[in-house]
Amino acid sequence: MSNDAITSPENTMLPRDSFAQRLLAGHVKKFYDPVVDIDWDAPLDPRKLFLPAEVVSLYGTLLWESMDHEQRRELSRQELANVLSVGIWFENLLNRILLRELMSGDPTTRHSHYTLTEMGDECRHMMMFGKLIDKVEARPYWPNRYERLTISALQLFLRGSMVWVGALVGEEIFDAIQRQTLDDPELQPVVARAMRIHVTEEARHIGFARDALARKVPEISGMERAYTRLCVAIAAPLFVHLMTNWHMYTRAGIEGGRAARRMARANPHARRVLGIGAANLGAFLDKQGLIGPIGKRIWRRRGLL
């Protein structure tokens, strides 16, 4: 082996920086700007849905069967607006947490450089989601004052290993569901394009968070492990709560929004879709010892396992 190979920058990096360097290289090869990479002027298809029927929360229920196509289309539009709104909240929160992590990090490392790159991606995703809500002529589902305080307070609890667990819960479940629906011929083309961009870039974000968490787990104390398990258990009902906002049923013209939400949460098909989406994440957290018996019980009850 030559001296050049031994002393090359790649070989002298810490393992996490070497991994981050590969992600940075991937970002250069596959980078999107939603402002120019999505045709925002293209008209919406008057017949196509805004989410694939199979991932709409009431799909397969008696209520769904009683709806005509226009009612189903409107429900899919409202559910898309809710999902995108939750995505904006989450990516806003994630960026704030990543900024905080950078305050104690070394700004010369590839790990820090990829963190900044990911934050740039998330800023573009938030803009993409906002433009998409506007494009489909929906209104965002914005948190009220108390919910905003709760979301802001999460920064206090997402520390240590929970930074990366929180990132994975927020990114990986919906990402897996998106991957199942990208090629649905009944999906609005503008939505399919936005999903394709999001899936491509989120794959790097998920890899970054998984790598960071796997490296951190061997170092955490028993107390931090117990705390992380508790937070993982709580994350399941929170995720399901956000995805089944009762207001979206009301906006879709369904009488009794709360009753529709209960129906959606009990819907076996919707639970199966969630379970498929969360399967890989659940297996990964279990392998890291971060989802204990109580967490597994709660995740199963909510349809995530």
Measured distance CA(80)–CA(88) in Å, rounded: 12
Measured distance CA(259)–CA(88) in Å, rounded: 27
**pLDDT above 70 coverage of the chain, percent:** 96
* pLDDT-derived band at 1, boundaries 50, 70, 90: very low
244: closest CA among 91, 67, 93, 61? Answer: 61
135 or 175, which is more confident?
Answer: 135
- pLDDT reported for residue 9: 52
Task: Parse the chain into domains and list their residue ranges.
Answer: 16-301
- pLDDT reported for residue 6: 42
76 or 13, which is more confident?
Answer: 76
pTM here is 0.90
Measured distance CA(102)–CA(99) in Å, rounded: 5
Is the predicted pLDDT of residue 19 greater than 90, yes or no? yes
278: closest CA among 176, 205, 163? Answer: 176
Measured distance CA(130)–CA(2) in Å, rounded: 52
Find out if CATH 3.40.1110.10 is the number for domain 16-301.
Answer: no
Task: State the DSSP code for 43.
Answer: P
Q: What is the mean pLDDT of the chain?
A: 90
Q: What is the pLDDT of residues 161-170, one digit of tens each?
A: 889 998 998 8
Q: What is the pLDDT of residues 259-287, one digit of tens each?
A: 999 999 999 999 998 888 888 999 999 99
